[in-house]
């Protein structure tokens, strides 16, 4: 233990800007900070997002649906710049009171339907188009188990390991150890699962793969937190096989570009309003 251990005061008080990455957007209260309506396009589905792992789950799903021929999945993708606080605008908060991307508005019916939480959005779209979620009750339940597994597990990977390994203002051995252990345990869970099946929930590609790949697939491919060597991801060979297969899917390549504002210029598509926006000839 360090000799400068923190002794919590009787009552916690907010110290704005504690130095960590994203410190400027974190607040201990919810709700809108400013009035701002969201733009709306002409397509049935309006996506408000950013190409983080949680955000790209939905653009990947929409591109997969379009690739399967579901023309009703056409969408406008609008950029929400979370580092600039767009998620606290009144229009966004009306779609997602939790102020986090991604959020979806389905304006195809008589009343618009809002959906927030990436897992709920994947489930909503799978139900609406009858795709990427098995009909058979046992297979469907298996798929939902893994979807919920991702929603419960990834905060320990992102908010725990990723935060303390990559973003915190100082390196704390206790925190990095604790979350590296959990991250490796989760990678082993997935690796064992993928040793006996092609995809996470069985023989077919599903919304469980779309939820899990942006976190764990990108991590083992060395595209998250620059932690591939630290976590010795090459140990997880079944997971690596699956990660590479998913990364090569044309809809995944397209979906990852949507609402992206960093990386190589031809990988970025800050807004998407037509399929042709993602053509890279
Ligand atoms: N459980 C949520 C998590 C969404 C989430 O954490 N989004 C982050 C970006 S990956 C965000 O919008 N952060 C902005 C903020 O915290 O203010 C989901 O899966 O949709």
Q: Which of 30, 34, 54 to mutate to test the pocket of ligand 1 (most atoms within 8 A of CB)?
A: 54
Taking residues 184-188, report their average pLDDT.
98
Ligand 1 near 87 CB (within 6 A): yes
Q: How far apart are CA 105 and CA 197, in angstroms?
A: 34
3-class DSSP state for residue 253?
A: helix
Tens digits of per-residue pLDDT, 95-140? 999 999 999 999 999 999 999 999 999 999 999 999 999 999 999 9
Ligand 1 near 33 CB (within 6 A): no
Please report the atom of ligand 1 found closest to the CA of residue 25.
17
Q: How far apart are CA 112 and CA 44, in angstroms?
A: 10
Global pTM value? 0.96
Q: Which domains does the chain have, with CATH numbers?
A: 1-132+266-281 (3.40.30.10), 137-248 (1.20.1050.10)
What angle, 0 to 180 degrees and rounded to 10, lies between the N-to-C axes of helices 237-247 and 250-257? 80
Sign, Cα dihedral of 255, 167, 38, 266: negative
What residues contact 27, with CB distance under 8 A and at least 6 apart? 14
Kindly report the protein residue whose alpha carbon is nearest to atom 15 of ligand 1: 100
Q: Residue 2: what pLDDT?
A: 56
User: Which is more confidently placed, 34 or 17?
Assistant: 34
Tens digits of per-residue pLDDT, 52-66? 999 999 999 999 999
Residue 266: Cβ within 10 Å count: 9
- By C-alpha distance, which of 268, 214, 225 is closest to 101? 214
């Amino acid at each position: 233990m360090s000799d400068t251990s923190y002794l919590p005061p009787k009552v916690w008080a907010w110290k704005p800007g504690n130095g960590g990455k994203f410190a400027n957007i974190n607040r201990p209260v919810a709700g809108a900070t400013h009035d701002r309506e969201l733009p709306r396009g002409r397509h049935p589905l309006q996506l408000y997002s950013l190409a983080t792992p949680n955000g790209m789950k939905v653009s990947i799903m929409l591109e997969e649906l379009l690739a399967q021929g579901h023309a009703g999945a056409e969408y406008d993708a609008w950029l929400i710049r979370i580092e600039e606080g767009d998620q606290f605008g009144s229009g966004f908060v009306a779609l997602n009171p939790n102020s986090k991307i991604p959020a979806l508005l389905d304006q195809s019916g008589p009343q618009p339907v809002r959906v927030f939480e990436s897992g709920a959005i994947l489930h909503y779209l799978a139900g609406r188009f009858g795709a990427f979620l098995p009909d058979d009750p046992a297979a469907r339940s298996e798929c939902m188990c893994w979807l919920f597994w991702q929603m419960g597990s990834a905060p320990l990977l992102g908010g725990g390991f990723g935060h303390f390994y990559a973003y915190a203002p100082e390196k704390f051995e206790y925190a990095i150890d604790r979350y590296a252990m959990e991250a490796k345990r989760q990678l082993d869970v997935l690796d064992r699962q993928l040793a006996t099946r092609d995809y996470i929930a069985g023989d077919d590609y599903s919304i469980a793969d779309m939820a899990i790949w942006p976190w764990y697939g990108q991590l083992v491919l060395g595209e998250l937190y620059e932690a591939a060597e630290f976590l010795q991801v090459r140990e997880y060979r079944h997971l690596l096989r699956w990660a590479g297969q998913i990364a090569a899917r044309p809809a995944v390549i397209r979906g990852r570009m949507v609402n992206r504002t960093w990386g190589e210029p031809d990988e970025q598509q800050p807004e998407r309003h037509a399929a042709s926006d993602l053509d890279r000839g």
